[in-house]
Structure 1
Amino acid sequence: MSVWNATDSVDFRGPLDVTRAATAVLDARGWIVGWSPAAEEMLGYRSDEVIGRAVDTLILGGGAWEPGLAEWRDSPGVRSNAVDLQHRDGHIVRTATMMSRLLDGGTGPAWVVVAAHLEEVHEWEAAQAMLRGLATQSPISLTIYDTDLRLTWANTASGREFTAPVGEVIGTLSQELYPDGEVLSEGAPATLEQVMRQVLATGEPVVDLRFRGRPPADQDHDHVWSCSYYRLQDARGQTLGVCEDAFDVTDRYLAQRRLALLVRAGARIGRTLDVTRTITECTEVSVPDFADAVVVDLVEGVAEGEEPTPRELRAGPLVRMARRSADGLSAEDSAEPPPTPLERINYAADSPQTRSLSSGRRVLEEAASGGATPRPAGEPWVHSLLVVPLRARGTTLGLVTFMRGRTSARFDSDDQALAEELAIRTAVCIDNACRYTRERTAALALQRDLLPRNLAPQTAVEVAHRYLPAHTAGVGGDWFDVMPLSGARVGLAVGDVVGHGLRAAATMGRLRTTVRALARLDYTPDELLTRLDDLAEQTTEEQMAARRGSGESADPGADDDAALGVTCLYAVYDPVSGRCTLARAGHLPPAVVTPDGAFTLPDLPPGPPLGLGGLPFESAELELPEGSLMALFTDGLVRGRDHDIELGLERLGHVLSEHGKPLEELCDQAIAELLPEGPASDDAALLLVRTRVLDSQQVALWELPADPAAVGRARNLVGRQLNDWNLQELSFTTELVVSELVTNAIRYAFGPIQLRLIRDRSLLCEVSDTGHTTPHLRHAATDDEGGRGLFIVAHMVHRWGTRYTAAGKTIWTEQALPPVEAP
């Protein structure tokens, strides 16, 4: 049922209308001569009971009517008043009355009096005041369109949006009033015409529809309205049109957009520790929701992690980092030449950018009405320009310039506060990225200095290596090394330090240096890891004690500098025997591919990570035929974001199956297949080794008895062998060395003596015995009968040393080969 045919519908004629009010007709004396049924219903008197009576008898208190009549005798017109009437049963009826004169004088009808309940009249008058207020005083725009959606009526608030009087726009189609408007509410029809036709067709009202457009009276600025629509019908239910009420919510809409912009800025700016990406995120958030264009310039050196000095802020150009415009084109896509990473921008001394940079405050510059500011050059469409410094920790890092064109609103105080908030967030993220860049650069430099750069060629193996630092977590502690050992052997090491950053790199450097020092002492792999474990545990204890002394937390995990949980794999390969001895401390085993293409992961005793103590380390020995390929690596190579270690090892095996390729090519292929996007959260190290075996003609081995006569035989054997090798130049020195070492072995050891010569890149001489006493180099006194032999040996050879085996010890010397004369 419509509101027009409801029993309680609004009567716009009012309760004092003569067709529904209580009516009485009076003669000139004030006697009742007419009485309506409505009057009978209001006061309870029948007409025969009141006709002929004075009207004063119905008024509470009586005697009040005659003065009124006298007052109105000479005052023609209508008089209204509030009067208390007495009901037949005695109760009081408060009424609003209106009296109108019919004739002048005579004894016939002279006055018509109408009355209605006072409360009903007050309610009707309030309703009428409300209707008048909606039409003339309400801030809500009310507009009525007919069924053809032509304007038929508009209140005063709606009329203010038109440039012409309302009467001149009556009959205008709705789509002609706001031709470029846009419906913002999701799920609503695309245009207001479609919205109103839907309301006309269904009768269902539409509430709080958001619409953006430019009213005819303000074509330079966008406005946003909250609109509601409902269908209008007459008393018979016929559709008359649609009513629109709209309230301008532009300020509220802009405030909501500013808040949403800050939320997006918090979620999008600074997602990476990359200066360039952070600046790009700032421009993406700002355009087009906040500005039509934005430019970001940094002080030179900031992008590389440097901190600007006050001198650099006063003078010198800025570096253009990014520019974005409202059409979606970045600087690289626009018609202007794209900026290079080193493009320098020199602003004039009186420019807003220079003023902002020198003061450290925002600067707003606006064009005069109808004009455009000349800054920045080449963009005359800018009429509002806001420059905000990028400041963090009290230092200005650069500037961000927001620009709006003539079709956009100028930057108001709320916009300026929002721009500063965007600049603060961006500056903090840039500063974090710069600090990360500085630390990463320092860590990389430290790590480059600590890691081997160019491995010296080895006779025992051919090597190739790769190291990739993590992209997201910073430089870590992965490391590798190749160390030449006595007897033409080679030591191979790879390790992984827990954590990232400078401390991890420093810990890696200490461990690598320690491994090299222990390897030079010719320890077996298990012995080397045992001593390295002792050092790591001692380092951890010292650091915990230092923290306790300073009042810091004694938790071992509180400082990633502690060498706790470090993994390491150490191997020694002997090219004479073709054997490789390995031991590992919590590290992954190596991958081995034999010359026939068989891929294996040797089952090595695991051993605990370094620094934990407890379980011992064990060595294992492998037979590696010449041409075998061995890969030593860290878990960052085989563990990825999208796969586990097992799949990574399978992929590594697939790469190494092509073991005949050059090692450098295999390294590149392994990185490309296992880490196509680079390591994301952990470093990756890879050391590829292809084994070689010394030819039998390069090695000479003799067993000698523990007899002084063996010294002479040893000299003769060495002399003949050097003659066969065309190394006669080294005969005297070598025979003297062998004589001294064999003599010492006979004097201080028991059992057979073994003498071995190896011709490699140098001449190696080894004397092995069953003793475990370490010879010491000393200065003999003038009256000593012995003690000078080892001192003489040390001065005649390039290097010398001692290594121990389960059967005893070996004293070795190394001499440089004489230069080969050119043919």
Structure 2
Amino acid sequence: MNAAESLRDRLSYLGEAATRIGTRLDPGASARALASALVPRLADTVTVYLLEALFTGGRLDGSDELRLVTGPKQPEELAREVMRLDAPLQDGTLLAVPMKVRGRTLGAVLLEREYRPHDDIDVMMAEQLAGQAALAADNAHRYRVEAATADTLQRSMLPSLLPRFTGIELTHRYLPASDHAQVGGDWFDAIALPGSRVALVVGDVMGHGMRSAAIMGQLRTSVHTLAALDLPPDQVLRQLDGLAQDLGENHLATCLYAVYDPVARRVTFANAGHLPPVLVRRDGSAELLPVPPGVPIGVGGVAFEPIEFPVRDGDRLVLCTDGLVEVRGHDLMDGLAELCGVLDARRLPLDAQCEEVLRVLPVRGRQDDDVALLMADLNGIPAARIARWMLRPRPVTPARVRRLIRATLASWGLAACSETAELLATELVTNAVRYATRPIELRLLHTDGLLVEVSDDEHGLPVLRHADADDEGGRGMQLVSRLACQWGATRTATGKVVWFRLNVDPDDA
């Protein structure tokens, strides 16, 4: 073999070996690829040491313990000596090369060959491949640290326990992606709305890693803010779409926003490119609801279409992200059909149903994406615990309200809280009488507490302010704020609703 052929052979060897070594995101795999490339071309036996922190995600400060990754056992003192050097060290048929990258030494490779010492070209090639392995190990470490940080960020933003609501029972499961996949931007939530309604949300930020987790956190926080304004589902998505565009280009996410009303027994949906929900009827039959698909949040300039479905007590709603049903190379609708097949005619308690879905669907074997699963049993609020009146805005109306509340709470066994309820309701109704031009609605709901709502056609919201001793008004909302455990006011399409909630002693009820 002449000099030119020898050079081409060595360059081809280096290129192929570097490719095998540099395509791994696992320090151990990179070390094993390095040893495989060196034997038998440059050594009879190879020993590779790497810093323990490369495998645990700790700091690479050079003071960490060494881990023997591959090859025969060699004295660690020799490896540590090599790690302190800036250049390879040769002693007869033993060649020790530090594994260096970005100014740091991450390990050492020891090459041993009988009878024939390594020449300068051997040393150069060993040093080149050791550097390639060090670069791959460092990249794997950086990936591990970023993935762990993103996972911690994502988990800190997701609810560990969902709140308890009246008329609906919830459970959820969240499975992070497998170790070889980056963390995604899946999220879910359940948010209390006025009138004992509940917003159910699932979403998925496109992409993976820290960026997706951070965007997910911003969108989830925004959903809570918009829900507090009690905007219709389609307007919530519209506002989220604008926010995503303000965050910058290519900030896309899918989201399904649903509002369950346990009094009216209906669910209103708006969808931004997310999977459709599954409704399991109380007889056990499962169906995909024909919710308009919409486009992902962040596309911009597209309206979201709301749709409403009646539900019955005992129906079950299932929302999920695509990690549950998507299989590479298969149509997504096949996965949804598979989910419906698992749910159809296999009615189980809520938690058991979640476990059944995750057990039957081969999620764990194909999991390249996060999985968020939210299930809700829609139980409604019994009609016997709801009272509603339409009242004309007259001066005598507040007195009539007191009588109605007194009689109703007595029939519910809640006479102990009647005096406070009458006082606060009188304040709200008096304000409504002053400004309303159409009938005022008064609604009482006896759930885990007592909810009192007053609706009228005036859009101005009450303001909580401090009233001085000589002020003639302004104390009504002070009373509501002090005596109610919660209160709020929301604009509606026809005016506003002001509400307050009182705690109920179970012994009294």
Q: Distance in 2 between matches of 1:389 and 1:415?
A: 15
The alpha-carbon distance between structure 1 residues 595 and 294, as it changes in their structure 2 partners (threshold 3 A), is farther
Which residue does the alignment assign to 2:430? 743
Is 1:419 aligned to residue 126 of structure 2? yes
538, 548, 566: which one pairs with 2:246?
538
Which residue does the alignment assign to 2:228? 520
Is 1:399 aligned to residue 108 of structure 2? yes
Is 1:318 aligned to residue 66 of structure 2? yes
Correspondences of 1:619-630 after superposition (within 5 Å): 619-630=306-317
* CA displacement at 1:671 relative to structure 2: 4.0
* CA displacement at 1:749 relative to structure 2: 1.0
Contact 1:386-1:403 within 8 A present in 2 as well: yes
Q: Distance in 2 between matches of 1:425 and 1:280?
A: 13
Contact 1:567-1:610 within 8 A present in 2 as well: yes
* CA displacement at 1:676 relative to structure 2: 3.5
Correspondences of 1:181-200 after superposition (within 5 Å): none
Letter in 1 for 2:106: L
Contact 1:655-1:666 within 8 A present in 2 as well: no
Letter in 1 for 2:85: S
Which residue does the alignment assign to 1:277? 29
Which residue does the alignment assign to 1:675? 363
Contact 1:705-1:752 within 8 A present in 2 as well: yes
Which residue does the alignment assign to 2:376? 689
1:302 aligned counterpart, secondary structure:
helix
Contact 1:648-1:674 within 8 A present in 2 as well: no
Which residue does the alignment assign to 1:48? none
Contact 1:440-1:475 within 8 A present in 2 as well: yes
Which residue does the alignment assign to 1:362? 88
Which residue does the alignment assign to 2:215? 507
* CA displacement at 1:678 relative to structure 2: 4.1
Correspondences of 1:472-487 after superposition (within 5 Å): 474-487=182-195
Q: Distance in 2 between matches of 1:659 and 1:499?
A: 34
Q: Distance in 1 between matches of 2:345 and 2:337?
A: 14
Is 1:600 aligned to residue 287 of structure 2? yes
* CA displacement at 1:683 relative to structure 2: 3.7
Correspondences of 1:166-565 after superposition (within 5 Å): 261-287=13-39, 290-309=42-61, 312=63, 317-320=65-68, 322-324=69-71, 347=76, 351-366=77-92, 384-404=93-113, 406=114, 409-459=116-166, 460-469=168-177, 474-540=182-248, 556-557=249-250, 563=251, 565=252
* CA displacement at 1:656 relative to structure 2: 2.1
* CA displacement at 1:256 relative to structure 2: 8.0
451, 457, 460: which one pairs with 1:764?
451
2:488 aligned counterpart, secondary structure:
strand
Is 1:653 aligned to residue 340 of structure 2? yes
* CA displacement at 1:509 relative to structure 2: 0.7
The alpha-carbon distance between structure 1 residues 777 and 346, as it changes in their structure 2 partners (threshold 3 A), is farther
The alpha-carbon distance between structure 1 residues 721 and 410, as it changes in their structure 2 partners (threshold 3 A), is farther
Which residue does the alignment assign to 1:551? none
Which residue does the alignment assign to 1:797? 484
Contact 2:288-2:340 within 8 A present in 1 as well: no
Letter in 2 for 1:297: Y
2:56 aligned counterpart, secondary structure:
coil
Which residue does the alignment assign to 1:197? none
* CA displacement at 1:572 relative to structure 2: 0.6
* CA displacement at 1:447 relative to structure 2: 1.0
Contact 2:51-2:107 within 8 A present in 1 as well: yes
Letter in 2 for 1:268: R
Q: Distance in 2 between matches of 1:596 and 1:270?
A: 56
Which residue does the alignment assign to 1:730? 417
Contact 1:355-1:363 within 8 A present in 2 as well: no
Contact 2:285-2:345 within 8 A present in 1 as well: no
Correspondences of 1:69-84 after superposition (within 5 Å): none
CA-based RMSD of the aligned residues comes to: 2.9
Which one has more relative contact order, counting CA pairs under 8 Å at least 6 apart? Answer: 2
Letter in 2 for 1:642: G
Q: Distance in 1 between matches of 2:408 and 2:91?
A: 92
Letter in 2 for 1:448: R
Letter in 1 for 2:141: C
Which residue does the alignment assign to 1:788? 475
Q: Which runs of 5+ in 1 are unaligned?
A: 1-248, 326-330, 332-344, 367-383, 541-555, 558-562
1:482 aligned counterpart, secondary structure:
strand
Is 1:755 aligned to residue 456 of structure 2? no
Contact 1:632-1:686 within 8 A present in 2 as well: yes
* CA displacement at 1:819 relative to structure 2: 6.2
Q: Distance in 2 between matches of 1:625 and 1:795?
A: 37
* CA displacement at 1:745 relative to structure 2: 1.7
Letter in 2 for 1:589: P
* CA displacement at 1:388 relative to structure 2: 1.7
2:500 aligned counterpart, secondary structure:
strand
The alpha-carbon distance between structure 1 residues 468 and 782, as it changes in their structure 2 partners (threshold 3 A), is same
The alpha-carbon distance between structure 1 residues 531 and 252, as it changes in their structure 2 partners (threshold 3 A), is closer
Q: Which runs of 5+ in 2 are unaligned?
A: none
Q: Distance in 1 between matches of 2:233 and 2:119?
A: 73
Contact 2:146-2:209 within 8 A present in 1 as well: yes
**Structure ranking higher in helix proportion:** 2
Which residue does the alignment assign to 1:716? 403
Structure 1 vs Structure 2: percent identity of aligned residues? 40
Contact 2:347-2:353 within 8 A present in 1 as well: no
Which residue does the alignment assign to 1:568? 255
Q: Distance in 2 between matches of 1:297 and 1:626?
A: 63
* CA displacement at 1:254 relative to structure 2: 9.0
Letter in 1 for 2:81: R
* CA displacement at 1:261 relative to structure 2: 4.5
Contact 2:286-2:345 within 8 A present in 1 as well: no
Contact 1:798-1:813 within 8 A present in 2 as well: yes
The alpha-carbon distance between structure 1 residues 284 and 659, as it changes in their structure 2 partners (threshold 3 A), is farther
* CA displacement at 1:797 relative to structure 2: 1.0
List per-residue Cα deviations over 1:661-718 (Å, max 9, x = no partner): 24444434444524333432x4433222222222233323333332332322322332
Q: Distance in 2 between matches of 1:409 and 1:726?
A: 98
Which residue does the alignment assign to 2:464? 777
1:610 aligned counterpart, secondary structure:
coil
The alpha-carbon distance between structure 1 residues 795 and 394, as it changes in their structure 2 partners (threshold 3 A), is same
Q: Distance in 2 between matches of 1:250 and 1:401?
A: 30
The alpha-carbon distance between structure 1 residues 775 and 570, as it changes in their structure 2 partners (threshold 3 A), is same
The alpha-carbon distance between structure 1 residues 761 and 268, as it changes in their structure 2 partners (threshold 3 A), is farther
The alpha-carbon distance between structure 1 residues 391 and 597, as it changes in their structure 2 partners (threshold 3 A), is same
The alpha-carbon distance between structure 1 residues 470 and 569, as it changes in their structure 2 partners (threshold 3 A), is farther
TM-score, normalising length: structure 1: 0.57
Contact 1:651-1:674 within 8 A present in 2 as well: no
Letter in 1 for 2:98: P
Contact 1:470-1:684 within 8 A present in 2 as well: no
Q: Distance in 2 between matches of 1:775 and 1:307?
A: 55
2:454 aligned counterpart, secondary structure:
strand
The alpha-carbon distance between structure 1 residues 288 and 579, as it changes in their structure 2 partners (threshold 3 A), is farther
Correspondences of 1:125-164 after superposition (within 5 Å): none
Q: Distance in 1 between matches of 2:401 and 2:366?
A: 58
